[in-house]
């Protein structure tokens, strides 16, 4: 029987540890503030942004929501980001991915000040994560690491197979596992014999964006299965029921990686507020 890795309780513990830090900042007149930017009207993105804003407010932090029209140009989006960079009351900036196709998303990410890049999306933020001294690694990869650590699961020496190589998830989590001395294999849509590779994994990270993609018979008995996926109908990238009895430990969806991602975003914003306000 697998151990269920309870992301909701890991998230609660991270948020509890923020409470006194937020109060100390308020005592000196600083309310940690996360600015979220949403471009267009994608319903899933709207939900994600709303969840992040609500999570901020529940902890007594400020959430500033910037909602721009679908027709916004790259230049207009970058102007908005620059205003937030210069606004001393804003400590973290999150541009919700994906933006409409006509926008140069990379250019927009690069416009975020490194001091406020709380989701590790800039080239510099990514590079710092790769070197192992990043202040704010991408939140979902950091959440995956936080869950492994909360349960004292061994990373060093293990074979970790990451399925997905996106800049905010698959690549950074691969580097973070490598920095913790895992032996890492990164798989993607052109990988041959993916099932065979996954069968050799001690740790599987699913970051594919396809519901129930990882099959039960791909899992080595006792392997740790981390499901970063979040698809319509609250379904992960892992066939949870099929993997449950094979895995040694597994994250559910919902209440797995998702809530820890949000808690990590709040933590990074508080970290940034402290760094920017307490000299």
Which positions from 81 through 140 interact with ligand NAP, judged by CB under 6 A? 140
Number of residues that bind ligand NAP (CB under 6 A): 26
DSSP state string for 138-199: -HHHHHHHHHHHHTT---TT-EEEEE---TTTHHHHHHHHHHTT-EEEEE-TT-SSHHHHHH
Which positions from 167 through 226 interact with ligand NAP, judged by CB under 6 A? 168-170, 187-191, 194, 207-210
Q: Please identify which residue in 56, 228, 255, 263 interacts with ligand NAP, judged by CB under 6 A.
A: 228
Helix (H) or strand (E) holding 39: strand 33-39
d(CA 208, CA 162): 9
3-state secondary structure of 65: strand
Q: Please identify which residue in 229, 255, 265, 270 interacts with ligand NAP, judged by CB under 6 A.
A: 229
**Closest C-alpha to 264, from 159, 154, 135:** 135
Tell me the HSE value of 93 on the side-chain side, using a 13 A CA sphere: 29
Q: Whole-number minimum distance, CB 237 to ligand NAP, in Å?
A: 5
Which positions from 136 through 175 interact with ligand NAP, judged by CB under 6 A? 140, 163-166, 168-170
Q: Whole-number minimum distance, CB 64 to ligand NAP, in Å?
A: 21
Nearest residue to ligand NAP, by Cβ distance, number only: 166
Active-site annotation, residues: 52, 96, 119
Sites of contact with ligand NAP (CB under 6 A): 140, 163-166, 168-170, 187-191, 194, 207-210, 228-231, 237, 257-258, 261
């Amino acid at each position: 029987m697998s151990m269920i890795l309870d992301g909701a309780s890991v998230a609660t513990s991270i948020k509890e540890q923020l409470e006194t830090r937020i109060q100390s900042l308020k005592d000196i007149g600083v309310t940690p503030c996360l600015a979220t930017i949403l471009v267009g009207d994608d319903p899933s993105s709207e939900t994600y942004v709303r969840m992040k804003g609500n999570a901020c407010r529940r902890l007594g932090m400020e959430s500033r929501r910037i909602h721009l029209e679908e027709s916004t140009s790259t230049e207009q989006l970058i102007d908005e980001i620059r205003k937030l960079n210069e606004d001393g009351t804003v400590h973290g900036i999150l541009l919700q991915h994906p933006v409409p196709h006509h926008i140069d998303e990379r250019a927009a990410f690069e416009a975020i000040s490194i001091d406020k890049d709380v989701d590790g999306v800039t080239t510099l933020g990514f590079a710092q994560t790769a070197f192992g001294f990043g202040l704010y690694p991408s939140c979902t990869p950091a959440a995956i690491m936080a869950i492994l650590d909360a349960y004292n699961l061994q990373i060093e020496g293990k074979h970790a197979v990451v399925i997905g190589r996106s800049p905010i998830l698959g690549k950074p989590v691969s580097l973070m596992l490598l920095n913790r001395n895992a032996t890492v294999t990164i798989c993607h849509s052109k990988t041959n014999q993916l099932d065979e590779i996954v069968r050799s994994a001690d740790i599987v990270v699913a970051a594919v964006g396809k519901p129930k993609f990882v099959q039960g018979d791909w899992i080595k008995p006792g392997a740790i299965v981390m499901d970063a996926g979040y698809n319509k109908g609250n379904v992960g990238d892992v066939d949870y029921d099929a993997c449950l009895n094979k895995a040694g430990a597994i994250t559910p969806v919902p209440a797995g990686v998702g809530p820890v991602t949000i808690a990590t975003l709040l933590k990074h914003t508080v970290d940034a507020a402290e760094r920017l306000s307490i000299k």
